[in-house]
Amino acid sequence: MAVGPSAFMGVAAVLFSLGLYGVLTRKNAVMVLMSLELMTVAACLNMVTVSRFVTPAEMTGQVFAVFAMAVFAAQIGIGLALVLAVYRQTGSIELSSKKAT
């Protein structure tokens, strides 16, 4: 049984939509950031897949995935620091406007 690029892309699409669902519906700021991580991992998986199947010698997708990982790591770090700052200010990390007073 041969697994083509469509199978990897399918896994990435499912991961991306699950992450999008989490971003849209969760009310906990940390859960939203974790769902964002899910989406970014799906994007990286797509880049690596296309790189492996289309340009295995140049490895452009892998190089770009390295850069994307660095940017996402910075994003998650700053996001969590902001969550901590918001928690110190308001005493809550809920994203609903009702509780964030």
Phi/psi region, residue 3 (left: phi>0; alpha: psi -120 to 50; beta: rest), is: beta
Judged by CB under 8 A, the chain residues 62 through 81 that form the site for other proteins are 62-63, 65-67, 69-71, 73-78, 80-81
Q: Which residue has the tokens 């971003």?
A: 23
Out of 93, 96, 97, 99, which residue is the one contacting other proteins (CB under 8 A)?
93
Rule CB under 8 A: is residue 18 a binding residue for other proteins? yes
**Tokens encoding 36:** 């964002």
Per CB under 8 A, 11 contacts other proteins: yes
Q: Site residues for other proteins, window 29-48 (CB under 8 A)?
A: 30-31, 33-35, 37-38, 41, 44-46, 48
Computed from CA positions of residues 30, 31, 34, 36, in that sequence, does the dihedral angle turn out positive or negative? Answer: negative
